[in-house]
Amino acid sequence: MANQPVQSRKTESFLIQVSLLDYLHVAVGTDVGLVRRHQEDAVGWRVATDPRVLAHKGAIFVLADGMGGHAAGEIASQMAVDRIVTAYYQDPVIGITDSLRHALDRASQSIYVENRRANLGGRARMGTTTTAVVLRGHELYVAHVGDSRAYLIRDRHIQQLTEDHSWVQEQVRRGILSPREARAHPRRHVITRSLGQRAQANADYYPVRHIERGDVVLLCSDGLTAYLSDKEICQVVSQVHPEKSVVYLLDAANQRGGNDNASLMVMKLEGPSLACVRTQIESWFRGGNS
């Protein structure tokens, strides 16, 4: 028993007011899994406390899955999350997509510089996938590199918003492999893009989307999608609240093998529940609407 890895899980949930009557219900979870001893996934977010900044920049959520061997992967993923969140709000550019691009470039450059130092010191190179979203009111912006994913679940239908930058996805695009074959292929974990490969991020930036009350935005690492299909993820998220969704999905990944770290962020746009209304009323009485 002493040689078995210790499972470690962290979860958190909170509410964000995005308009007068709408709230974003957020739940976040990371799990080491049943085999690995280190957590190479990282998650991070920031919600501006200044209403003027929040109106211009919105709230940012970032998920990263690092790679590079012992310690290197967790350093790369945490570096990416920290750099992106900080650089996004520091960027003076008004456009959200441009600010995301500058933030991912800043993160990739930082990891790239560390990799050059690693080469000189004989240490392993590192990199990380990154999926970042910004929610401003009912607007959704997505930036992505690697094989972590962003999904939109609406009316019990799921849509993958990002395209995997992986060897098997390239074969699927060319018609060489079917999606089913890709899921079981021995090279399914080989990614073709990551932050840190070069100084400038080779990322995808997607057109802005409008989200509606009841929509769920979900970010996750491949430690989840390796074990659960899109349909299964959709069924869970559509039936239970974000906190329970996170627990159920992480449990399912472990029950089916748990060979990798698994992380996810679930964000549901909701109307004013009793708790939300109580929070708003208390804010008014404290002068929070001034």
176-227 pLDDT per residue, tens? 988 888 877 888 888 899 999 999 999 999 999 999 999 999 999 999 999 9
Average pLDDT, integer, range 50-56: 90
Highest mean pLDDT among 1-15, 46-60, 117-131 belongs to 46-60
Query: Tell me, what's the pLDDT at 121?
Result: 56
Encoded tokens for 206: 């997607």
Query: Tell me, what's the pLDDT at 72?
Result: 86
Query: Tell me, what's the pLDDT at 178?
Result: 81
Using an 8 Å Cβ cutoff, are 183 and 147 in contact?
Answer: no
Q: Which residue in 2, 70, 12 sits closest to 43, CA to CA?
A: 12
**What distances in angstroms separate CA 9 from CA 29, 89, 128, 262, one per listed residue?**
7, 29, 21, 10
Number of H helices, E strands in the chain: 9, 11
Encoded tokens for 11: 């979860």
Q: What is the pTM of this model?
A: 0.89
Using an 8 Å Cβ cutoff, are 264 and 250 in contact?
Answer: yes
Q: How far is CA 283 from the centre of its chain?
A: 30
**Which of 3-7, 171-175, 229-233, 241-245 has the weakest average pLDDT?**
3-7
Answer whether residue 172 shows pLDDT above 50: yes
Average pLDDT, integer, range 72-100: 95
